Structures are given as C-alpha cells and as structure tokens.
Chain A
C-alpha cells in the first residue's frame, strides 16, 4: 500500500514536470515568434527607407542634371546637314523619354502603400494561404479597418496567431472543409476573431475535449477573453474568440 502510494506520487511528479516543460517550451516558442516578428518589421522599415533614399537621389540628383543637360544640348546651335540636325532632335527626344522613365521608377520606388503593410494582417494572410493549399480549401479573410493592429499588444497577437494555427490544424486533420472564413472585427471595445469552416462537424459537447481545443480555450482565457465553439451537423464548425482591448 505504501509502495503503491509512492508510485502514485512519482507519477504525479513526472506529470507535473512534463507540464512544466511543455509550458516552458511554449513560452520559448512565443518569444522566438515575437523576435522574428520584430526583426521582420525592422528589416521591412529599413528596406522602405533605403528605397525612398534611392528614389530621392534619382529624382533630385540624376533627374535634375539630366534635364539641365538636355536643355543645354537643345540650345546648342548644331551645324551640319539635315541629317545631323534631325539626329540632334531625335537624341533630345530620347533623353526626354529617359527622364520620364526615371521619373516613373522613382514613383514606384517611393510608393510605400503596399510594402508598409507587412504586419500582423500580412502574416495572417500568409498563414491562411499556405494552409489553404495544404488542405485544398478556399478561404475568405476580412479585417475590420477600425482595428489598429499596431496598437494591439504583441502577446494578444501571438495568442491569436497560435489559436488560429490550432484551429486550422483541426480543420486540416478532421474537417475536410472546402471553405474557411476568417473574420476580425471590433465591437464594444472587444476584439473578435471568428474562424468558420464548412467541413465535417463534431460534437462540441463530447466529454473528452481534444488538447487542441483545450489549448485554444486556455490561451483565450489568459487574455481574459471568451472562447466559444459551435459545431452543427452538416454545418461545419464556428469558433469565436472575444478579447477585451
């Protein structure tokens, strides 16, 4: 009896240790993710600065000098036969075309609208894209423009990302869905994330919940949020995460 009790204790201890280990592992993972996210942002910002610098140099330096040269050449009194004069004119026109091309390049270089949006939404987009290929489903992604992702703290973003990963894993493993919808919106000072699929449903009330769902729930609760999952026969699964901001 004493012997059995001691086995029970060691068993509990090792379970605890495993849990602790898992926890540590998860924290480490999150940190790596955070660092890589920051790094990515930094690199992107540097790239934008550099592109703008090149555009400015081209625009203010090269373009101005080219223009000055063309005008100077244009004012030159070219002596010679008809052909020489015609060539002179066509070279001048060519120079002007080159100026226009450089100008267009400058505009493209200094157009920051697309590149500056490397951030949470683009990471989410990439994730959806890669998983949709893997699971052969189409996806719809909608971000409420009222959400300022820059202002939402990294921990929240990391957890949302992980929850989404978990949900997508479930969809890939069990749902055989053809369509997945992901929505982010803002309502009553709460950030909401909805993941919906049209795949095979499962009984949400079954006693033994998978570790995946447990994880999603505990992550949501860590953020003081609410987690709900609805799965109806033939109607797929809907997960809603509500987090106070």
Chain B
C-alpha cells in the first residue's frame, strides 16, 4: 500500500503544546501505517508566514495545520494573530485542513472564528485530552469537522435562541461587556451614539431585558451565548 505523505504545519508559541501535537501525530501514524507526516513548526506569525510563503513558492500546500489564535504578531503588523494566518491559509490553500486550537473561549470570539476561518477542527485547549486530540486528527483527515465540547455547547445555545442578531449587534454587546464606553463606540462602529442607543433598545427587547442598565443586557446575552 502506498504511504501517503502529509505535510503538517504546527503554529503555536508554547513548546510543550507543540510537543504534544507531535506526540499525537506519532501515535496516529502508529495506528494508521498508511500515513507519513512531515512536520514543520512556527512559533510566531513571522515564521509562520515564511513557511506558508515557502509552500506557495514551491507550488505545494500543507495537508494539515494546527493553528493557535494568540501568537506574537508579525513585525510589519500585517498578521496580528492566528486568525489572520487562518484567513491567509484559506485563501492560498483552500484544500488545507485547519485545526484551530485556542484557550480563548468567550462565545463572541469562538463564533467569529467559526464564521471567518470555518476550521475543519475547532478545539478549546482546556476541553481536550490526549485521546481526544488523536480522535480530532482522525476525524479532520477523514470526515471533518471536529468541534470540542465548548464549541458544541455554544452552537447548541445559539440554535436554541434563534434571534435575529447581526454582526454589529454582537460587536456592540461584546464591546459593552469588555467595558468600552458608549462615547468610544462610534469610533469603533459605523454608527452614531443615537444609532447605537437604538440598537441597544432593540437588543433589550429581543433579550427581554426591562432594566435600563446595560449590565443586565450583558448578563442575559452572556447566558444565551452571544458573548
């Protein structure tokens, strides 16, 4: 049987985690003798971009990418995080399978990564065990997607609360939850204070919040998995 070569790119700035991925890949190869992984590692956005561009130059593509979200940004500040890298990989190598693994777990960020990168595997790091990691590799290579528990829970609450809430609404909720002041919001969003107030009133209606304070709105939005 022909052995399938699989170039793997691990992008993570924690050496211990890189080691764990390598071990998991080794275990997986031991189970599936038909696969052979060649592994390359990047610890920041710059070295990741270098490797990605290297593939492109040679007319090749990575088969599988492990992608952390929080990474040291590139020196030219064009890639600020793993999310930027993920978008670039999607664009250059549409067939490449991406496993996003992150410690981030606020619903807003998880949701925005699902929408922007749409990864084949999505792991919240603290959800998973070694066994699950091997399972993830298997599922992503054979029949994606694989989402870890926290991601699934988020998707479930969103289906349960099928409100009409668009990207700007979400952003308003997110900014309010991180303590951004109302007067700063017009600098971040394409809306005036009055426009934001209007949306806030609408959101309070949707979430059935009678309190005039934003705090209650944030609490409910959090419960429902929107932030």
Contact = CB atoms under 8 A, between A and B. Distances in A.
Interface of A: 48, 59-60, 63-65, 67-69, 71-72, 74-75, 92, 96, 99-100, 103, 107, 110-117, 142-146, 148, 150-151
Nearest to B179: A112
Given A59-B103, A116-B181, A148-B182, A67 B126 contact: yes
A148 B183 CA distance: 8
A142 B211 CA distance: 10
A63 B68 CA distance: 13
B106 interface: yes
Contact of A69 (B16, B23, B130, B214): B16
Given A68-B20, A71-B16, 13 more contacts: A60-B103, A63-B103, A64-B125, A65-B16, A68-B15, A71-B20, A72-B20, A75-B27, A99-B126, A113-B214, A117-B215, A142-B212, A150-B182
A60 B213 CA distance: 32
B129 interface: yes
B118 interface: no
Contacts of A75: 20, 23-24, 27, 130
B130 A107 contact: no
B149 to A, nearest CB: 11
A111 B125 CA distance: 21
Contacts of A69: 16
Interface residues of B, number: 35
B53 interface: no
Contacts of B213: 143, 145
B162 interface: no
A113 to B, nearest CB: 5
A75 B177 CA distance: 38
A64 B15 contact: no
A151 to B, nearest CB: 6
Given A71-B133, A75-B27, A148-B183, A114 B17 contact: no
Contacts of A143: 212-213
A128 to B, nearest CB: 16
B177 A111 contact: yes
B224 interface: no
Given A60-B103, A67-B126, A113-B215, A145 B179 contact: no
Interface in B11-44: 14-17, 19-20, 23-24, 27
B176 interface: yes
A74 B126 contact: no
B70 interface: yes
B178 interface: yes
Contact of A151 (B70, B183, B197): B183
